A and B are shown apart, each in its own frame.
Chain A
Amino acid sequence: MTTIDQTAPGSAAAATPPRFQALRKFAREFARTPTAMAGLAILIAITVLALTAPLFIHASDLNVVNAPGQPIAPPSARFPLGTDYAGRSIVPLLIWGTRPSLAIGVISTALTMVLGSAIGLLAGHYGGITSRLLMALTDWFIALPTLPLAIGLAAVLGQGDASITIAIAVTSWPGTARLIRAQTLAVEARPFIERAKALGARDGQLMVRQVLPNVAPFILVSATLTVAGSILSAATLQFLGLGNPTDVSWGSMINQAFFQGAVSAGAWWYILPPGIAILVVVLGFTLVGRAVENILNPRMAR
């Protein structure tokens, strides 16, 4: 009976104090890791900035037409980070750029997790031919070079955030699938699965109610690290000109800086900020992901 209590939706936490304890222990260890807290601080700051950006940035700040300054002008009192090729101030562009980066990063990661976990769970739960076919497909996908595949997909689907998101999700699920399959195998070897089977649990129930909650922490780790990779990939695709042409993103800022003469002008104020922004966000996710990985499974991250 305990297994059923343990996983009944809603009452899960209340019925099993050990879970709460585990969570508290996790939070304590997390708070004790300085790099993890630094990463978390970065992520909170960036998220707040992204959510509140529309409150202090107006459409006129982002409009290419009637921009207030000279094109590619160095930093001044009015434009703290100078202006871009159209004469817009860099600062609001930079802040606005957090939005597409986070959105694409988080949404494509969610898709990746759904796809990867589903395939990993199925491959781990059903042995035999299903597992072998799914894992062969996964290994084959892992071997494919991701960027050419993502470029092809995004080019065929057309410029825009949706196609970039899909292209990233389609190319980044295999790592998650492998991880989740391995963890599914480990969980299914434990006695409570046998108990659930003896009580008549069907395959679907076993996977969703017994295995999934137990592999969830690994999905979380994988997700944090995948967001970092997704944001980098999104910026790469935007740099190559596959981003939404009417929106402002860090990748497209670098694209415009590069192709509109910032290099020959030596316009460091135009080139540096978007790259540093990408670096900081990716670092934030990587630090948090690594710390979570270390706490949940010290053997995994060395």
Chain B
Amino acid sequence: MSSTSAPLSAGSLSALEAPSTDGASGARDFAHYLVRKVAAAIVSFALLLVLGFIIFSLMPSNPVEALTRGHPTSAKQIAFLTKQLGLNQPVWERFGHFVLNTLQGHLGYSWQFEEPVATLVIQRLWPTLLLMGSSTIVSILLGMWLGIRSGWRPGKLLDRTSTGTAIAFWSVPTYWLGILLLVLFSTGFGPIPPLFPAGGMSTPGAVGGLAPSHILDVARHLVLPCLTLVLVVFAQYQMIMRSSMIDELGNPYLLTARAKGLRDAEVRQKHAVPNALLPSVTLIFLQVGTMISGAITVETVYSWPGLGYLTFQALNIPDLPLLEGTFIIFSASVIVFNLLADLAYRYLDPRVRRS
């Protein structure tokens, strides 16, 4: 916890050093900050492209061999594939093509689906957004609620039980929990009736679109994968919130608030929570990476037709262009969320926002 909060305290220190920013220079500062952060994000993305190229284009000894494994292939076909994949060009040229293509949204061509990777990714984007969005919101609400209460009275019963539960859920493999919930609630295990569907995002053959019956159907399919992710992830939010609440505990302003005669709940909600929220908000943005890892395995367990399930399907051959595409999309989204976290912090800290 302490290592993650270090950059934040450094940030608030630098904010304190310049308390007398008037409007104009404050705005200029912000523009400066924005440019620096966006530039850093662009550099991160460039490095990401290099890494993606190294892993998926340079490391595989012979993609043609992987592609034709199990199929009888003539020398002529191999030569054709080598040329088609551009493997006969020098490395720098290949990297150049790769960067240009990626920037234009061409992520290559999936070997098993025989479709452009970009098309596949766009098809699968919305189910993943739905699953990750809903589970993130529920986990944040649950984690914050528990974190605020357990951090307010550390060492008490609620703190001990909820922290213990959090650590236990953290040690549980996400997909295993998903399989257990699947057995319990969708197969009719013992006395429990099959409450929820076993997989997919909607009942096959049902009417799509925005019909109420369809929305209800999707919601029913969403319950178990969402619950799985929430159980594993809420603990992270709880620990973050708990630790920032504890950081606030000794502060004199709380004593002042009590001296004014405020009730305990008021001191907590009106004074401690707003201050504790500040460092938490940015750390919450930074959890997106963890969510992605969870989404890959949970989507696999529930055959939820999103990017995570697509990643799992890509492991089949392995379908390297598809794997590369999902890797770049996942990592790029993390870079974007880190940028948002930086901007949110800058905006939310009233000492900085003054302008």
Interface residues of A (CB under 8 A from B): 140, 143-149, 151-153, 155-157, 175, 178-179, 182, 228, 232, 235-236, 239-242, 254, 257-258, 263-264, 266, 268, 271-272, 274-275, 278-279, 282-283, 286, 299-302
Contacts and interface: CB of A to CB of B under 8 A. Distances in A.
Contact of B172 (A242, A258, A268, A279): A279
Given A155-B315, A263-B198, A271 B179 contact: yes
Interface in B317-355: 318, 320, 323-324, 326-327, 330-331, 334-335, 338
B2 A146 contact: no
A241 B315 contact: yes
B2 A271 contact: no
Given A145-B292, A148-B331, A240-B296, 9 more contacts: A148-B330, A152-B324, A152-B327, A156-B59, A182-B3, A232-B173, A254-B175, A278-B176, A286-B167
B55 interface: yes
B68 interface: no
Given A151-B296, A151-B323, A263-B198, A144 B172 contact: no
| Among all A-B residue pairs, the 8 with the closest Cβ atoms | A147-B293, A275-B176, A145-B289, A282-B171, A155-B318, A148-B330, A145-B292, A148-B327
Contacts of B56: 152, 156
B293 A146 contact: yes
Interface of B: 1-3, 6, 44, 47-48, 51, 55-56, 59-60, 167-168, 171-177, 179-180, 182-183, 187-190, 198, 243, 246, 286, 288-289, 292-293, 296-297, 300-301, 311-312, 314-315, 318, 320, 323-324, 326-327, 330-331, 334-335, 338
A264 B187 contact: yes
A140 B176 CA distance: 30
Nearest to A283: B171
B57 to A, nearest CB: 10
17 contacts: A143-B335, A144-B331, A145-B331, A151-B311, A155-B323, A236-B173, A239-B173, A239-B176, A240-B297, A264-B198, A268-B183, A272-B180, A275-B179, A275-B180, A279-B172, A286-B171, A302-B2
A140 B338 CA distance: 10
Contact of A300 (B2, B173, B289, B296): B2
Contacts of A264: 187, 198
- Main secondary structure on chain A at its contact with chain B? helix
A191 to B, nearest CB: 25
Contacts of A241: 315
B62 to A, nearest CB: 12
A236 B3 CA distance: 26
A156 B293 contact: no
B51 to A, nearest CB: 8
Contact of B179 (A151, A257, A302): A257
Contacts of A147: 292-293, 296-297
Given A145-B292, A264-B187, A279 B331 contact: no
B88 to A, nearest CB: 20
B287 to A, nearest CB: 11
B177 to A, nearest CB: 8
A282 B172 CA distance: 8
Which of A152, A279, A301 gathers the greatest number of chain B CB atoms within 10 Å?
Answer: A152
A240 B312 contact: yes
B254 to A, nearest CB: 18
Contacts of A152: 55-56, 323-324, 327
Contact of A156 (B51, B55, B173, B289): B55
A8 B331 CA distance: 46
A264 B334 CA distance: 36
A132 B335 CA distance: 19
Given A140-B44, A302-B243, A149 B327 contact: yes
Contact of B301 (A157, A258, A302): A258
